Amino acid sequence: MMFGKMVNGFFLLAMYFLLTGQAVSGPLDTLQPGHWYEASSNTLEDVSPTPFDSKVRGVIDAWSGAAYDTKRDRLIVWGGGHGDYWGNEVYVFDINTLAWDRLNDPYWPAKEFGWGVGESIHADGSPASRHTYDGLEYLPNQDRFWIMGGSRWRDGNGDQVTALFNFNSLSWERKADAPITANIGVATAYDPVSQQILLHAAGVLAKYDPASGSWSRLRQDGAINGMVGEVDPVNRKFVVVGKGNAYLYDISDLGNVTRSSLNAVGDKTMEGTVPGLAYDPATGKIVAWDGGADVFTLDLSVSPPVWSRITPASGNSVTPTAATKWGTYGRWRYVPSKGVFVGVNSSSGSVYFYKLSADAGSGGGGSTTPLPTISLNADTTTLPSGSSATLSWSVSDATSCSASGAWSGSKALSGSESTGALSASSTFTLTC
């Protein structure tokens, strides 16, 4: 995985030795506050299973959400379910390549299920496709994609299954079932402070502990399903909004959680829809989006909380398409490495990025964050055909490096390696 901006060291080894370097920034690194960027090199449908099934649009259209893999900088999309789509394959949009990819194949026998026939877990151990609503999260400490709840393929039933997807083995692992039976239309959010997932469904508030794989019910209140949630980790609040409802949980003490109506002031448009919600660490506000060019911020640091509509900057030239009929859910996420937001609302359309503030992000995107630097050397500048040289390198301001050209694979941030016998001019490239 490339780290923000790329620094390439090029070695040409033959009768002489050549080293050059250059820094490259991408469109997300130069995106200005108040502006949108449209990525359209391919679509989710372009990488869907063959033969093409038009029902794949249900991966996004049918009440489906997403999560964000902060380790690899990828938006993870997984959905379908009920009468919309049978496939349970996992899709990712890579922030570095700005392109879609499919990680695995679907469980093909599910395509032939008759109406009303359904199962929570298929014979291969993978969970059935489903309307995922706001029930998808990424677990940074475990490096797993987490799913729970939803309306499963063909029979539409909800279930209590919790499952984790392993990015290395591309396999699923079933975990403890949730202590909630009404699991259609769940709202979840990962709390980075407690490192727990909070879940709201049918008025029940529960938490999932990724470290132990266990569930705990926190409280029971009357409420409807089909809402979306997000955590404000600084003010210790879990907000749940949608369909004209808005609730606020005080999570400063998870052993004694209290709930109240949000009672916010300002432009409350997002409370009447089913938007995506994502916390912005730069402004300390929750940012909502439900298609179009306007976004909305929710400030929970004041009482009463304040909703504000943010219109694009005057020079913005990109307007995202409208939201899907059923809502955005988790398909609006913050990208820490770039200091931008990512959103998608169509399996056949573009992916959109928005810059709210001048925050550079944790891995790039502004002048305050240094470029990766690389020192790459060889122990000789001249060598006869059939001889070898030793390459040595060290890198700073990066998290990973990969080799290409005459060598390959992931490389540590420092090390040395023989080129092996060289019989022709060879180029050694290190990208970090």
Determine the pLDDT at residue 309.
98
Range in 8-12, 291-295, 341-345, 357-361 with the lowest mean pLDDT: 8-12
Q: Is the model's pLDDT at 9 over the cut of 70?
A: no
Determine the pLDDT at residue 21.
37
pLDDT-derived band at 85, boundaries 50, 70, 90: very high
Question: Among all chains, which residue has been given the structure tokens 């909800």?
Answer: 158
Determine the pLDDT at residue 153.
93
Nearest residue to 243 via CA among 267, 221, 226: 226
Q: Is the model's pLDDT at 380 over the cut of 50?
A: yes
Tell me what the mean pLDDT of segment 298-322 comes to.
98
Question: What is the percentage of the chain residues whose pLDDT exceeds 90?
Answer: 70
What residue spans define the domains of the chain? 6-25+367-431, 36-354
Q: CA-CA distance, 250 to 381, in Å (whole number)?
A: 65
State the Cα torsion 302-284-148-45 to the nearest 10°. Answer: 130
Nearest residue to 28 via CA among 337, 370, 289, 346: 337
**Among the ranges 52-61, 108-117, 375-384, which has the highest mean pLDDT value?**
52-61
Q: CA-CA distance, 311 to 292, in Å (whole number)?
A: 10
- Helix or strand (DSSP H, E) at 217: strand 214-220
pLDDT 10s digits, 255-274: 999 999 999 999 999 999 99
- End-to-end Cα separation, the chain, in angstroms: 8
Instruction: Write the DSSP string, 263-322.
Output: --EE--GGGGS--EEEEETTTTEEEEE-BSS-EEEEE-SSSS-EEEEEPPPTT----PPB
pLDDT-derived band at 406, boundaries 50, 70, 90: confident
Tell me what the mean pLDDT of segment 278-303 comes to.
98
Bridge partners for 92 per DSSP = 76, 101
CATH T-level topology, domain 36-354? Neuraminidase (2.120.10)
Range in 19-28, 137-146, 363-372 with the lowest mean pLDDT: 363-372
Q: Is the model's pLDDT at 289 over the cut of 90?
A: yes
pLDDT 10s digits, 317-361: 999 999 999 999 999 999 999 999 999 999 999 999 999 987 666
User: What is the model's pTM?
Assistant: 0.80
pLDDT-derived band at 210, boundaries 50, 70, 90: very high
Tell me what the mean pLDDT of segment 193-205 comes to.
94
Q: Is the model's pLDDT at 409 over the cut of 60?
A: yes
Determine the pLDDT at residue 381.
60
Determine the pLDDT at residue 368.
38
pLDDT-derived band at 5, boundaries 50, 70, 90: very low
